[in-house]
Amino acid sequence: MSVVLDTTLNIETPEVVELLLPVAGIAPRSLAWLIDSMIKIGIIFVAANILAAIENVGEGLLLLTMFGVIWGYNVLFEALMQGATPGKKIVGVHVMNADGTPIGWRGATLRNLLRPVDDYPGCYLFGCLSVLFTRNFQRLGDLAAGTVVVQRHEVPAKNPWDDVDPQPTLVPLTRDEQEAIVSFGERRNQISDARAEELSRIMQPVLGELDAKRLRAFAAWITGHRPKS
């Protein structure tokens, strides 16, 4: 039984370490796009005022500046700043390869060259539909480049299991079920109570009647934690 308790990208590294990365949806990506768009407009506006004083070549330089900003802004920042444009950094998301490795020039260039396709026929309609109907919320440019946009992972300041009383499950679990439960337990404090209860109900056919607190107790037990004596 394959179980997914939330939208995450599960990556197993060559060192057999599993990474669970929350995939960014339309809302944070749209906000990042809006911030970056305002920055681009600001750069072009400043350049236009400066170059207006230059006769003859001013208009040509402005066109080159607009071309560089429109086509090079995202590529430059994503390739050199760990997959994050200023807008993405503010929102807390970044681009990475689907295998968990940092994005490079090839991926950054390809995903941004296809932005006009994602924007067709306007308002990023194709891109939004692609994000809604793909498992890892990938727009067409992401699918072509093999990239994903994920929430930036913050290392917790304390042990996430300190406030949990571990409990063993009374039924055997598959590896997928154990991974899903542990994933929930690790991210419980990052989601709302209502969402946590909704996710816990997904496991009721396997574990019987339970709530988010008990499911997190199961997660602690699976990860090797035991009740404090």
Tell me the pLDDT tens digit for each residue of 73-119: 999 999 999 999 999 999 999 999 988 888 999 999 999 999 999 88
Average per-residue pLDDT in the chain? 83
The reply to whether 10 falls in a domain is no
Task: Give the C-alpha distances (Å, rounded to integers) separating 13 from 98, 99, 105.
Answer: 12, 8, 22
User: What is the SS3 assignment for 111-150?
Assistant: HHHCHHHHHCCCCCHHHHHHHHHCCCCCCHHHHHHCEEEE
Name the domain count of the chain.
Answer: 2
Better-scored residue on pLDDT, 218 or 229? 218
Do 63 and 167 lie in a common domain? no
Domain termination site, one of 134, 151, 168 = 151
pLDDT per residue over 58-76, tens digit each? 788 889 999 999 999 999 9
Q: Which of 119, 151, 183 delimits the end of a domain?
A: 151
Q: What is the pLDDT of residues 115-156, one digit of tens each?
A: 999 888 877 888 888 888 888 889 999 999 999 999 876 555
Res 15 pLDDT > 50: no
Structural domain that includes position 166 = 157-222
* Whether residue 146 sits in one domain with residue 55: yes
Vertex 18: Cα angle to 15 and 19 (nearest 5): 115
| pLDDT confidence of residue 74 | 95
Do 131 and 37 belong to one domain? yes
Same domain, 167 and 139: no
Same domain, 100 and 161: no
pLDDT band at 171 (very low <50, low <70, confident <90, very high): confident
171 and 114: one domain?
Answer: no
Clarify whether residues 134 and 185 are in a common domain: no
Task: Answer yes or no: do 61 and 171 share one domain.
Answer: no
* Helix runs in the chain, H state only: 26-51, 58-80, 86-91, 105-113, 115-119, 125-133, 140-145, 175-187, 193-202, 204-207, 212-222
Which pLDDT does position 174 carry in this prediction? 86
Question: Which of 122, 151, 180 is the C-terminal boundary of a domain?
Answer: 151
> Which letter, b or e, does each residue of 49-73 get, where b requires 16 or more Cβ atoms within 10 Å of its Cβ?
eebeeeeeeeeeebeebeeebeeeb
